Amino acid sequence: MSGSPFRHEVLFYDDEDEFLAGTVPMLLAGLEAGEPTLVAVRRSRSEQLQGELDGNADRVEFVDMEVVGRNPARIIPVWRDFLARAETGTAVRGIGEPVWPGRCAAELEECQRHERLLNLAFGRGRKWSLLCPYDSAGLAEDVLEAAYESHSHAVCHGHQIESPGWPGWEGEQAPFEGSLPPPPPGATTLEFDRAGLAAVRKTVGHETAAASLPAERGTDLVVAVSELAANSVLHGGGRGTLRVWREPGALLAEVHDRGTIEQPLAGRLQPDLEQEGGRGLWMVNQLCDLVQIRSGPDGSGVRLRMSLS
């Protein structure tokens, strides 16, 4: 695939004026052309953009990226749903801001993987354009460099260029490669098999209570870990290892087994009602604040993070 109908562009901006100068003309052009447009940015940016649309903000769909994008794995389904609702053959536009200053290192890592997966998810589909604003003044240099590698084009100080480092549409995505920092030595650890699934739920429930995780969110984490453990029994060699620990402001749980995850969009495509299997990672992504998956010849690990606030 030498080219693609999907245009994935990054906008680097230093201040509010550059942000508006790079985004508002795109929105106004879409309104003039009658093209469906979705904006998924932070609340503060959304308010700025709505104020610049000359009373036409109701013709643009806005969603809060701080909610839908808290776990970056939930963003692709938002764009898929938007495209599905747009009339076939109609060009569409989007502005998406998955990366912003203040995100932790783990979130930024998953955002970078998400940006690469956008090219896989939409590179062979319908014609549409997605502009991703990046705050050059507030983000680290390595985050900005990674954006060049995941976007085919870039806008820098009003000038559009082809992104240096762009691997092309045939570039390998490899969303599950690499490793995660090891859990701390004091992490609660439980080896389990089919007979131990109840113990998995009990252990996670105890840890959520000890961490004072709000009851509903504690239940969500128990359900998510239980789903992963069941997958380990069914597809990961019949057994697995659970680890649970606390970091500042968050409770984390990880399930590791001997299976491998091969579908790069696993957990990002909503299962059909008639579909057998494939629901576990989707459910986990909907329940948790952050999901990190690493998989290779030595097995798979899925790490879940829930904020304590």
Per-residue pLDDT of the chain (309 residues; tens, 9 = 90+): 457 899 999 999 999 999 999 999 999 999 999 999 999 999 999 999 999 998 999 999 999 999 999 999 999 999 999 999 998 888 999 999 999 999 999 999 999 999 999 999 998 888 999 999 999 999 999 999 999 999 999 999 888 999 988 888 876 668 899 999 999 999 999 999 999 999 999 999 999 999 999 999 999 999 999 999 999 999 999 999 999 999 999 999 999 999 999 899 999 998 886 665 668 999 999 999 999 999 999 999 999 999 998
Domain endpoint, select from 128, 162, 196: 162
Q: Are residues 108 and 205 in the same domain?
A: no
Q: Do 18 and 147 fall into the same domain? A: yes
**Spatial distance between the Cα atoms of 257 and 229, rounded to a whole number of angstroms:** 9
Q: What is the CATH number of the domain that holds 292?
A: 3.30.565.10
245 part of a folded domain: yes
Instruction: Note whether 219 and 256 are same-domain residues.
Output: yes
Q: Based on the fold, state whether residues 83 and 126 are members of the same structural domain.
A: yes
- Domain range for 243 is 188-307
For strands 128-135 and 6-13, give the pairing: parallel
- Residue 264 located in a structural domain: yes
Do 298 and 227 fall into the same domain? yes
Phi first, then psi, for residue 27 (nearest 5°) are: -65, -45
**Residue 193 backbone dihedrals phi, psi, to 5 degrees:** -135, -165
Q: Same structural domain for residues 133 and 223? A: no
pLDDT at 4: 86
Residue 254 near residue 304, CB atoms below 8 Å: yes
Say if residue 116 is in the same domain as residue 221. Answer: no
Whether residue 265 sits in one domain with residue 192 = yes
Give domain status of residue 181, yes or no. no
**Number of domains, the chain:** 2
What does the block give as tokens for 184?
A: 């701390």
Say how far apart CA 36 and CA 40 lie, in whole Å.
13
Residue where one domain finishes, among candidates 162, 197, 222: 162
> Is 179 part of any domain?
no
CA-to-CA distance for 144 and 192, rounded, in angstroms? Answer: 41
Residues 45 and 105 in one domain: yes
Is residue 290 a part of any domain in this protein?
A: yes
17 and 158 housed in the same domain: yes
The reply to whether 193 and 152 lie within a common domain is no
Residue 182 lies in a domain: no
**What whole-number distance in Å separates Cα of residue 109 and Cα of residue 74?**
15
Do 98 and 65 touch, CB atoms closer than 8 A? yes
CATH code of 59's domain = 3.40.50.300
Domain shared by 210 and 121, yes or no: no
Query: pTM score, two decimals?
Result: 0.94
Report how far residue 216's alpha carbon sits from residue 152's, in angstroms, rounded to the nearest whole number: 41
Assess if residue 175 is contained within a domain.
Answer: no
171 within some domain: no
Which residues lie closer than 8 Å to 150 by C-beta, 6 or more apart?
Answer: 8, 10, 112, 115, 116, 118, 119
